[in-house]
Chains A and B, each alone.
Chain A
């Protein structure tokens, strides 16, 4: 029952490959399974009911097909080789992965495609597939499929060598594209730096890696590493895609944070408490108390800046590193940043533009760009910019 509760259709989890089979169109018998690992996972009856999705009509050749039927999901990439040497002047085949119906399979699609291409090229070169299917002895193919299934399920990658050709298969998590990285955002590692294999990454990424500490923002990293800021942005975005880092708002003493409902987890979860204590400590020898940490978080509200909070609660007296405290809170979702968006009241009235305003900045007071970003672009400190804006009665702030 537990498993059922966990794995329902649409749970969005990945599941193992249950079966791999190769099926082809036999010139007399029609669609048939040439080889299957493990044997008889897909029975003849089931195969017959779904066969026209596996060996489809011409227009669906070379399309990734996924059909969810009878509790399993079958992924395939049907192909056809036109050649006079084959019985019907064409050789149709499809290598299919079978997963459970609840499993997410988008990440396997490129894999199926690549493996099919590999088989296709071998068939074109040495008739590797058709020979095996004609002889009825598909031992080589079976070994290959078994290896793929085992390796992909265990290690999520696989290296296949048949004769002189080699191919590599890796499962790549399919994520939606991360939002464009802004200059004022701060990248921070989600895992410990030690677990990060640096030589997997490109040179620029390696160059900026040491400066990703959770406090340097993108343009500062660019300045420190002497790398073009757009390159840094691209690298950071790439790292975000792979879930190595995430982006947090820049730490400032004038920043305002607000508590989220998740904060109450800190009162309950001992694991979270321990983590928080260790993370936010000024020194590992003197650990802060969890009450003090909680009081600090609880004090964060729309009205008070980090500076106010520090003045009031004196985190240094309680062995709390307030920067780390904020970082931890943001990473765990205990708090969220409250941004200030300047917005002009009447956008048509250009007369309101004062001479002391930076013309470029005025144009961006549209309610979409927050103060941090403006400061980062304009090279101003928040207080300077705020001072400018306060003087303009046409600009109001939306705080959210």
Chain B
């Protein structure tokens, strides 16, 4: 209600004085109604106290009567709106009682008809609003007034449009007032009426005979195209909030009042532009759009000079597509797409959703106002014959993924033609903001999370501490803590297959030659020194029994002191070297280097490890003989490593993750050997991730590790790695929903769900709406 304009005025002020040239609507209510209103509410039993009347005459508190402006005469308004030159070209805002006038007084040169010297004229197009209208509404109206002023200035400059129109208006005013003064000479009783408002009142002159209402404004509306444009502006604003007017059939003025425009689709929903801006800031590539109108209609309504990008976007539109998909298909950048989305949302042509898919969970929106009398019921029945809106909404009483509903509705509703129809129903309901999507957010339940107000630094510090403790004294740490983050060494498994390394593929040999030239070998081995001992057990376990007996094995390496470790490591290295008979001397060197405990650049180790793992992965899937692979991967990656070092360094972790994905999709019907290989590869990835400063596992605090260790799922290195990586990237702070994680990390929902299930002891999940999408909902 308060969104609608009360009135539009057109005032000019020049050397000849100020004049209200046009207003719309111009019909004023009867005068006696006005006076009644002014007196306020009448209490028939009230005593009229004379003293009161003397001191406090009734003050007028409202100028709005029955949704129309009242109590102002045209002269008064024209003096108010004809501002002094100092106030021109800036915002004009005046509030009188409960009416707010807003406009942009525009000063422009115009040609007087007598001489061609340009004089300045001030025009002011003023909107009268309810004073309770919010500031952002006022701002929009101000903008519109400014644009109208600019359009008129342009047209005046181009073809003296304003001059011509003003001439028509003034002539009509003069004509009518001349006529009226004539009439009034005869009818004295109307004189009083005239004094109050010369031109606005609508008189029906019986004396004149024709009986048609003769108001100057009425005539102006017939004669002047500018007046008609203003009427169109006013009517557009009060009906749809969208104005598309061509001033003088030349300048196209497109304007949208979003507060009003969104009410076409959802009554009572007021969306402020600021809100849309905020929503756009939160827009991510995985979001999608849902058009509120038919795409074909929308295409038709776009003017010819509309952006081709927008046309492409709409042509390719589907509520199932994410913005990124749309961007790719329409060959646009994401920024462009999000800007176009913002545009569509502003004009109430679209809303932001998460793309429709079967896994989505919807509930009835808290604001969804449905009752047995609401018109939505009929609309819904018309759109989807045989379905009842109420029943449909009651289906969404409990949150469940859409595929589940599809089944349920198919059973209960009978006629619901499967998923496609359900999708249409959901889209319809989303457009009406009757449904709200719930997302699952995950929060990592660290035992001491109220101690660390800022996560990043804290973790970093912890991580350092942990590193030191790792290096210095293993035995001092309790075994449970150790168990969790301990990376698994693939070489270990190689170790368990000492007999498998008969012959290397030739390329590997090549690799090895390459590798022999490169430095990283040493690093590699140095690195392995750190890890060998603790990986030992888990690898063993994974191979030997395949059960979760990690704990049984753990104590052994822990129990070893530094010396023991060294021994074991040496042994490992020697095994390595033994295996790689082709370049045994090199590897021997490695081993010796290890023992010498050189300090190396850790970053390089990471990258080598990474490529290690990745290649291993490929090998595992390609070759059948996994044992041999295991041996290969120790050596083969080096060659690629040297080439891809830079790129790998950057997104090493995500690479790992992708590999993990691939792995999980591997068909389960592989021979045991491959399975074991897989585990080895996975553990390799873990090790790789864990090796350097950025290792995901180090994101956990010791207490968190302890909590993790208690879970049987932590023994699975793949799961652990995924968890650690996601945790490290901050996905488990309750701020990113599953869909976002899926999108960002390229993992599948089932993977995530499994992970959540496995680690439910430490992960807290909660379901709530996506704030970016919920911003466009009316509640709160």
Using a CB–CB distance below 8 Å, which chain A residues touch chain B?
A: 9-10, 12, 45, 48-50, 52-53, 56-57, 59-60, 62-70, 113, 117, 120-121, 124, 258-261, 263-264, 267-268, 270, 273, 289-291, 294-295, 297-303, 333, 336, 338, 343-345, 347, 365-368, 396-400
Residues in chain B near residue A347, CB distance under 8 A:
372-373
Assembly CA distance A366 to B770 (angstroms): 30
Q: In this complex, which of B96, B136, B364 has the most chain A Cβ atoms within 10 angstroms of its Cβ? A: B96
Q: Would A121 and B55 count as touching, CB distance under 8 A?
A: yes
Task: Output the nearest chain A residue to B60 by Cβ-Cβ distance.
Answer: A63
CB distance A366 to B373 under 8 Å? yes
- CB atoms of A260 and B365 under 8 A apart: no
Could you tell me the distance between the alpha carbons of A57 and B76 in the complex, rounded to whole angstroms?
7
The segment out of B85-93, B201-209, B640-648 that lies at the interface is: B85-93
Q: Which of A45, A69, A345, A400 has the most CB of B within 10 A?
A: A400
Contact (Cβ within 8 A) A368 B450: no
Q: Judge whether B96 and A64 touch: CB under 8 Å.
A: yes
Q: Are B390 and A63 in contact (CB under 8 A)?
A: no
With A and B bound together, what is the CA distance between A367 and B364 in angstroms? 13
State whether B366 touches A400 (Cβ < 8 A).
yes
CB pair B390–A263 under 8 Å, yes or no, is no
Contact A303 B399, beta carbon cutoff 8 Å: yes
Whether B372 contacts A344 by the Cβ 8 Å rule is yes
Nearest CB in chain B to that of A399: its residue: B397
Q: A-contacting residues of B (Cβ < 8 Å)?
A: 55-57, 59-60, 63, 71-73, 76, 79-80, 83-84, 86-87, 90-97, 134-136, 138-139, 363-366, 368, 370-374, 388, 390-391, 393-394, 397-399, 438, 441, 443, 445, 447, 449-450, 453, 733-735, 764-771, 774, 780
**Is A294's CB under 8 angstroms from B95's CB?**
no
Whether B76 contacts A63 by the Cβ 8 Å rule is no
Q: Is B445's CB under 8 angstroms from A65's CB?
A: no
Q: Besides the contacts A66-B94, A121-B55, what 10 more A-B pairs have beta carbons closer than 8 Å? A: A10-B135, A113-B59, A267-B734, A294-B764, A298-B765, A302-B438, A347-B372, A397-B397, A398-B364, A399-B364
Please, how many angstroms separate the alpha-carbon atoms of A154 and B252 in the complex?
Answer: 52
Q: Which partner residue on chain A sits nearest B390 by CB separation? A: A343
Given contacts A9-B135, A259-B768, contact A59 B72 (CB under 8 A): yes
Q: By the criterion CB–CB under 8 Å, are B394 and A398 in contact? A: yes
Structural contact, B95 and A267, CB atoms closer than 8 A: no
Q: Is the CB of A343 within 8 A of B372?
A: yes
What residues of chain B lie closer than 8 Å to A397, measured between beta carbons? Answer: 394, 397
7 contacts between A and B (CB under 8 A): A49-B83, A49-B84, A63-B60, A68-B94, A291-B450, A298-B766, A399-B394
Question: CB distance A53 to B393 under 8 Å?
Answer: no
Contact A67/B370 with A59-B71, A302-B397 known, Cβ cut-off 8 Å: no
Q: Smallest Cβ distance from B51 to chain A, in angstroms?
A: 11
Chain B residues contacting A290 (CB-CB under 8 Å) are: 449-450
- Bound complex: CA of A291 vs CA of B453, how far in Å? 14
Contact B364 A400 (CB under 8 A): yes
Do B450 and A62 touch (CB < 8 A)? no
Q: Contact between B135 and A366 (Cβ–Cβ < 8 Å)?
A: no
A53–B450 CA distance with the chains assembled, in angstroms: 58
A264→B366 CA distance, assembly (Å): 20
Q: Out of B87, B447, B771, name the residue touching A70 (CB < 8 Å).
A: B87
Contact A261 B774 (CB under 8 A): yes
A63, A117, A268, A300: the one within 8 Å of B96 (CB):
A63
Residues of B within 8 A of A295 (CB): 445, 764
Query: In the bound complex, do residue A297 and residue B766 qualify as a contact, i.e. CB atoms below 8 Å apart?
Result: yes
Contacts of A45 in B (CB 8 A): 86
Asked if A264 contacts B735 (CB within 8 A), the reply is yes
How many whole Å from A247's CB to the nearest CB in chain B?
Answer: 15
Cα A101 to Cα B436 in complex, Å, equals 39
Question: Complex: how many Å from CA A224 to CA B138?
Answer: 48
A118 smallest CB distance to B (angstroms): 11
Cβ contact within 8 Å between B57 and A62: yes
* A400 interface neighbour in B63, B72, B365, B780, Cβ under 8 Å: B365
Q: Give the chain A neighbours of B57 by CB distance below 8 A.
A: 62
Whether the pair B441, A400 counts as a contact (CB closer than 8 A) is no
* A184 smallest CB distance to B (angstroms): 17
What residues of chain A lie closer than 8 Å to B90, measured between beta carbons?
Answer: 70
Chain B residue with Cβ nearest A124: B55
**Nearest B-chain residue to A57, judged by Cβ:** B76
**Contact between B94 and A53, CB atoms less than 8 A apart:** yes
Q: Which one of B136, B764, B766 has the highest number of Cβ atoms from chain A below 10 Å of its Cβ?
A: B766
Q: Which of B450, B764, B765, B767 has the most CB of A within 10 A?
A: B450
Q: Which residue of A lies closest to B765 (CB)?
A: A298
Chain A residues with CB below 8 A from B391, complex form: 345, 396
B96/A399 in contact, CB under 8 A: no
A65 touching B774 by the CB < 8 A rule?
A: no
Chain A residues, CB < 8 A from B368: 400
CB of B303, distance to nearest CB on chain A (Å): 31
Residues of A within 8 A of B366 (CB): 336, 338, 400
Query: Which A residues are in CB contact (< 8 Å) with B59?
Result: 62-63, 113
Check A301–B764 contact: CB distance below 8 A.
no
B766 near A49 (CB under 8 angstroms)? no
Bound CA span A384–B388, Å = 27
Q: How far is the CB of A183 from chain B (nearest CB, A)?
A: 20
Q: Given A62-B60, A270-B453, A398-B397, check contact A291 B445 (CB 8 Å).
A: yes
CB distance from B546 to the nearest CB of A (A): 33
B372 near A367 with CB under 8 A, answer yes
The answer to whether B76 and A60 have CB atoms under 8 Å apart is yes
- List residues of chain A with CB within 8 A of the CB of B374: 367
B764/A260 in contact, CB under 8 A: no
| Chain B residue nearest in CB terms to A261 | B771
Contact A67 B372 (CB under 8 A): no
> In the docked arrangement, what's the CA distance between A398 and B453, Å?
40
B616 CB to nearest A CB, Å = 38
Contact B768 A63 (CB under 8 A): no
How distant is A300 from chain B, measured CB to nearest CB, in Å?
Answer: 8
Note all chain B residues with C-beta closer than 8 A to A268: 453
> Within the complex, what minimum Cβ distance (angstroms) separates A71 from chain B?
10
Kindly state the separation between the CA atoms of A60 and B390 in the bound complex, as whole angstroms. 53
User: Given A53-B80, A68-B91, are A263 and B768 neighbors across the interface (CB < 8 Å)?
Assistant: yes
Known A345-B388, A400-B365: A67·B94 in contact at CB below 8 Å: yes
A338 and B767 alpha carbons, distance in the complex (Å): 13
Q: A10-B139, A261-B768 are in contact. Are A343 and B371 (CB under 8 A)?
A: yes
- Is the beta-carbon distance between A264 and B97 smaller than 8 angstroms? no
Q: Is the CB of A302 within 8 A of B363?
A: yes
Q: A258-B768, A398-B390 are in contact. Are A298 and B97 (CB under 8 A)?
A: no
Collect the chain B residues with CB atoms within 8 Å of residue A333's CB: 780
Give Cα distance in the complex from A289 to B764, angstroms: 15
